[in-house]
Amino acid sequence: MLTIEAAREIVREHTPTPRIQERRLTGARGLYLAERVTAPEQLPRVDNSAMDGYAVALPGNASINKPIKLKIIGESRAGMPWVGALTAGTAVQISTGAPVPDGADRVIPVEDTTRENDCVWLKTAGQVHDHIRFAGREVLAGDVIAEKQVKLTPPVVAWLAGFGIDRVKVFTPPRVSLITTGEELADINQTLKPGQDLNTNRIFLENLLAGEGLEPAYCRHVPDALEATIEALDEAGRDSELLITVGGVSVGEHDHVKAAAEQVGFKQHFWKVAQKPGKPLYFASRNRTLLFGLPGNPASVVITSMVYVYPTLKRLLGATNPELRTLAGRFGQPVEVLDSGREKLLLVSIIGYQQHTARLQPGGPQQSHMLSTVTNSDGFIIVPGEKTTIAENETFSVNLFPWAEIRGTSAQSKRTDNG
């Protein structure tokens, strides 16, 4: 069987390049730029004041040791600049952000002045260029103002809009379809029949997509029947770039996803990975459509989607860093792990920090059906298959869940060592 990294590499190799489209900037929030954007003009556009006060032209005999009296000849306000040029011995009252008139070489803050009718007394002469924001100091025309693959967050959208940019090229969000399988599952608004459980897998995946601004283009629950599975896979795969199925990928008599996928033209790239949980993971493609067949246990769905599906989704969105965030962590005491001969995806909780390294404890019982352990965990580590004991202070890279709230190395512990 494949190792986790070998399987991840196969997924990366078969992930298509994201499509590109042009959109209105105001309708592109949350997407990723498909082009480098340069400034069409400089910022600031003109010299402007950083303070409320007076733009001044000092007389040649001005002394820094005594107050200086200047004649006020106008006012420059934001949006209503004073037109003209200062001559020696004159001043213009000025507001923050207002254009600095020609002839002024500094701005004196209002608190360093005293006004007397149409004159102003300066308590200090200041320094040349004090409190002036010079044109082009922040950005020159032609400078890069947003790199390709930058996410259009609210401040980035506002930044680009400030240059009058109205349309941008972005990576087209992928169409994602979800199919869950099995008579044992019911939707949240249905009455459970004997032997049934609620379809938490569908709820998890829908919310995972919603976190990336997406909703399923096709979402269906099918019974454990070959013909129904064939129909759903064929329909979902017609206009999707990412198709996720849950359940039906093992070797049971009622597991039909793999056979159904191959009947409708999907090419298998791998089936089964030497990992625990999630061994019967299935990956295939048809044209531009990628198919992930996830095992049905809730904890397996979460972990395998984090290892394989989530990074693929981020690549299809055009993200620069599609992988999960990581940080270094270690356990304060030895931890026994099951010897399965497979790499173990061990759920862990961060309970504090020591010397810039997270202190870890298992998130709970490592059972693939136990969603409670996932909710008590911040992420997972990958433990080599041959390992049966994690040594005290042995360091691992912790793969953080996208929703994990990690407060930094000075953070207080959010859980006790006793859980």
Decide: 324 and 354 in contact? Cβ < 8 Å: no
Same domain, 39 and 166: yes
Per residue in 11-38, pLDDT (tens digit) is: 999 999 999 999 999 999 999 999 999 9
Same domain, 214 and 180: yes
Percent of the chain with pLDDT over 90: 84
Decide: 215 and 279 in contact? Cβ < 8 Å: no
Same domain, 147 and 220: no
Same domain, 222 and 298: yes
Cis amide linkage into residue 280, ω under 30° from 0: no
Whether 374 is in a domain gets the answer yes
Per the rule left: phi > 0, alpha: psi between -120 and 50, beta: everything else, 287 is left
Q: Which CATH number characterizes residue 365's domain?
A: 2.40.340.10
Per residue in 123-163, pLDDT (tens digit) is: 999 999 999 999 999 999 999 999 999 999 999 999 999 99
pTM of the model: 0.86
Determine the average pLDDT of the residues in 226-236. 96
Segments forming the whole domain that contains residue 389: 326-400
Decide: 113 and 52 in contact? Cβ < 8 Å: no
pLDDT at 349 over 90: yes
Q: What is the number of domains present in the chain?
A: 4
| Long-range contact set of residues 414-417: C-beta below 8 Å, sequence gap at least 24 | 414/350, 414/351, 415/349, 415/350, 415/351, 415/361, 415/376, 416/351, 417/332, 417/351, 417/361
